[in-house]
Amino acid sequence: MELTSGVTATATTLADGRDLIYFDDADTALTGERAVDPRILDPRPATATMRQDVLTGEWISIAASRQNRAFLPPAELDPLAPQTPTNPSEIPSNYDVAVFENRSPSFGPLLTDENAPASLADLTEIGFGRTRTSVGRCEVVCFSPAHEGSFSGLSVSRARTVIEAWAERTAALSAMAGIQQVFPFENRGQEIGVTLHHPHGQIYSYPYITPRTTKLIQSVEQVPDLFAQILETERASERVLISGEHWTAFVPFAARWPIEVHLLPNRHVPDLAATSTDERDELSRIYLQLLQGIDALYPTPTPYISAWHQAPVNTHRDDIRLMLQITSPRRAETKLKFLAGSESAMGAWIGDVPPEQSAAFIRAALARL
């Protein structure tokens, strides 16, 4: 299947029936031939169960199978590298970018069953002992066949392929039964809790609207054209980092983290699937520039979470705009911000670095690239 800008996608399945999609660069050196997964695998784990916290109304997925996932394996046992005779990994063939269903998912593999959420209204009710099946889908996005690295080390062509994969998977996952929100993200660095050195991200497809987005809905219902106003305000500030034809990057006015960068499209789009070819082309360059600038802040790579906040699948798509949020706990070269009493227990944040100072620091790093 040919996508935009020459990227192609080839779908297949793994030995236990999980979906695997290869995304080939526009300038790929691969032949396109794909091997069959020869492994004999155990049956997939049962879909997890969500429990409701009556104190907040939030839903917690109890996914015990995740305890068995790989933890910082050596290169010769990398589960995201192409398979070899001595490494029966998750991906049978060499690849540019590969996306597959997580073997130990937090949500799914079931998309519906008799105890799945009946509706968003069903999920908002609060009661003791309420459970629902953790229906949904979790996917792994491999940025490269290399054992180590992150998004910032990719070529522009490869970055464009990953963006195309995110967009295609957002569209496909949004069309699945029971999915309410699709969330692509990358965790980078052991300080963040990464358990694989291999350059990769994930996509979670939730059966509910997440707590962060639920709070955002309260704001957009109070402030008309919220995101247009955010963009206008931030573009007029000293916190702007990059101003492109289609995208604007800035440190937000009320940044929580020592390093926090937001990236907004200059027109309203609800998710990555709705972006144009031109927007994706520019994003591949600007996103790399941002991540490389964040890495240039200090002599060693910066740990971060890169999170694509997208509108829910079935509501507020005209109000909530696609937004990338990159956050890092690194408050100095050898110091991290830990979420202690106030942040963790009460959700009351205290910023360590003035956002204007952080923006100047990141702009200086971008200028050194």
State pLDDT tens for residues 278-327: 999 999 999 999 999 999 999 999 999 999 999 999 999 999 999 999 99
DSSP character for 236? T
Cα 360 from chain centre: 26
Sign of the torsion formed by the C-alpha atoms of 355, 356, 358 and 362: positive
For residue 111 the two structure tokens come to 């998309």
302: Cβ–Cβ under 8 A, 6 or more apart, which residues?
188, 189, 259, 294, 295, 328, 330
pLDDT for res 33: 85
For residue 309 the two structure tokens come to 């906040």
CA 169 vs CA 127, 174, 238: distances in Å: 34, 8, 36
Domain boundary among 161, 181, 208: 208
Does 182 lie in the same domain as 262?
A: no
Separation of alpha carbons 365 and 294, rounded Å: 7
pLDDT in tens, 38-78: 999 999 999 999 999 999 999 999 998 776 776 778 889 99
Separation of alpha carbons 288 and 151, rounded Å: 7
pLDDT for res 304: 96
Does 218 lie in the same domain as 75?
A: no
Does 282 lie in the same domain as 193?
A: no
Q: Decide if pLDDT at 32 tops 90.
A: no
Task: Name the residues annotated as catalytic.
Answer: 200
Segments forming the whole domain that contains residue 66: 4-208
Does 232 lie in the same domain as 156?
A: no
pLDDT for res 73: 85
Does 169 lie in the same domain as 292?
A: no
**Total count of domains within the chain:** 2
Separation of alpha carbons 180 and 314, rounded Å: 7
Does 154 lie in the same domain as 287?
A: no
Percentage with pLDDT > 90 across the chain:
89
Assign 264 a pLDDT band (cuts: 50, 70, 90): very high
Q: What is the pTM of this model?
A: 0.97
Domain boundary among 160, 193, 208: 208
CATH number, domain at 279?
3.30.428.10
Q: Decide if pLDDT at 339 tops 90.
A: no
Does 343 lie in the same domain as 221?
A: yes
Does 144 lie in the same domain as 218?
A: no
Give me the mean pLDDT over the 145-162 stretch. 95
